[in-house]
Amino acid sequence: MQTDASVYLPPVTGTGSAPGDNTYFTGLILREFMDRGYLTARTQQQARLSMTAAINAHESRDGGRPVSGIEDDGLFHRRRPVYVLNLTLRDTNSGRSLINQDLFYSEPDEIDDLITLTFRELPPASEFTRQGPEQILPEQALPEQALTEHALPEHTPYNWRDESWFFGAALAWAPRFYINEDISVHSANIGFALFAEYHFLNMLAVGTGLELAQDWVVVTEWNDYHFRYFVLGIPFLARFVFYPSDNNIFAPYLGINFNIPLSQDVKLPLLSWRLGLQYGIRFGPGILMLDPWISMDIGRSTVGAREINPIPYQRFMIHLGIGYTVGLNAIRYRHRSDNTAGRP
């Protein structure tokens, strides 16, 4: 027998942050109906209303990648998966959808109030029986302002620490030291770099790029015997990432550099080692980076390679760089934020 104030409520399905999510949400939804005087039916055929609820991992629209939020813990931050609880209430007679709402969460208790708000227009059972769902419960959606903190990432404030990909450019003062019997120094030197970084596992990042700087090896000054040439570098770096505050990043790193001299007068070792310390300050849509590092060739170089007696030397490098890096999604989030700034 079907009564107008009856609802069929099967257990919440799907997988959330923990096995207890399903029982937790089933209890909350049942309480909303009981507080309004509704009866529960054993089967859908016996009920006037049918409630279904399902949990799924929330995926981004552009890459199909699971979305995560940020949880701070001192210098570190953890990426927390985001889940979506879909609530659908239907009239079993007509099949009409009365409630159809997605709620986003990382921990179940984050959306207790939103579940209550979703059911705000569901009237007491007595009124529902007297008037019917068509008159008193139009198809509804939760007001946009109520979902500000739990909506899709496209509507949330941009969080630069949740980025995976960063791209940037830098300039550096790049003095060079050439060591043989004496030390030759090329101090008036500027380097330029383009780079990309991928952040993963909460506190690790890897990076690569292209770097261009000049070498100037002075063999003797009295007869102007010197060699000047450019070197293209391709670094492969591993960074350990810390976040002292919401606006800072601190990343010591190490790695290797592939050396490609753009001259036939010099022979360089293929690889150099590198140690550095990157410090960043949030500035505009991206991060202003200070990037000092030191490096030395793994092996000796020679200049005058096309001459009878090429000259060997050891090359040591210092870079004091300043650059700017932007997350892959920064401009997209900034654009959407501007478009929604005038909404009530």
User: pLDDT value at position 259?
Assistant: 95
pLDDT confidence tier of residue 251, bands split at 50, 70 and 90: very high
Query: Per the domain annotation, does 344 fall within a domain?
Result: no
Query: Per the domain annotation, does 341 fall within a domain?
Result: no
CA distances, 229 to each of 194, 264, 297, 307, 320 (Å): 20, 9, 16, 16, 20
User: pLDDT value at position 225?
Assistant: 63
| Same domain, residue pair 247 and 147 | no
User: pLDDT value at position 239?
Assistant: 95
- The 10s digit of each residue's pLDDT in 54-73 is 999 875 444 444 444 444 44
Query: Per the domain annotation, does 75 fall within a domain?
Result: yes
| Same domain, residue pair 174 and 314 | yes
Boundaries of domain holding 248: 160-331
| Same domain, residue pair 133 and 188 | no
| Same domain, residue pair 48 and 114 | yes
- Looking at the structure of the chain, the number of domains it has is 2
Q: Does residue 156 surpass a pLDDT of 60?
A: no
| Same domain, residue pair 57 and 130 | yes
User: pLDDT value at position 40?
Assistant: 85
Q: Does residue 146 surpass a pLDDT of 90?
A: no
Query: Per the domain annotation, does 252 fall within a domain?
Result: yes
User: pLDDT value at position 16?
Assistant: 85
| Same domain, residue pair 125 and 188 | no
Q: Does residue 137 surpass a pLDDT of 50?
A: no
| Same domain, residue pair 149 and 179 | no
Q: Which of 43-47, 75-79, 157-161, 178-182 has the lowest mean pLDDT?
A: 75-79
- The 10s digit of each residue's pLDDT in 84-108 is 999 998 888 878 888 889 999 888 8
d(CA 95, CA 84): 23
Query: Per the domain annotation, does 118 fall within a domain?
Result: yes
Query: Per the domain annotation, does 337 fall within a domain?
Result: no
- The 10s digit of each residue's pLDDT in 279-333 is 999 888 889 999 999 999 999 988 875 666 778 889 999 999 999 999 877 655 5
d(CA 344, CA 326): 30
User: pLDDT value at position 4?
Assistant: 63
Query: Per the domain annotation, does 18 fall within a domain?
Result: yes
The proportion of the chain whose per-residue pLDDT surpasses 90, expressed as a percent, equals 33
| Same domain, residue pair 57 and 169 | no
| Same domain, residue pair 89 and 236 | no
Query: Per the domain annotation, does 112 fall within a domain?
Result: yes
Domain termination residue (choose one: 107, 127, 155): 155
User: pLDDT value at position 130?
Assistant: 54
User: pLDDT value at position 126?
Assistant: 74
Domain termination residue (choose one: 129, 155, 181): 155
Domain termination residue (choose one: 134, 155, 176): 155
User: pLDDT value at position 153?
Assistant: 39
- The 10s digit of each residue's pLDDT in 257-281 is 999 999 888 889 999 999 999 999 9
User: pLDDT value at position 134?
Assistant: 47
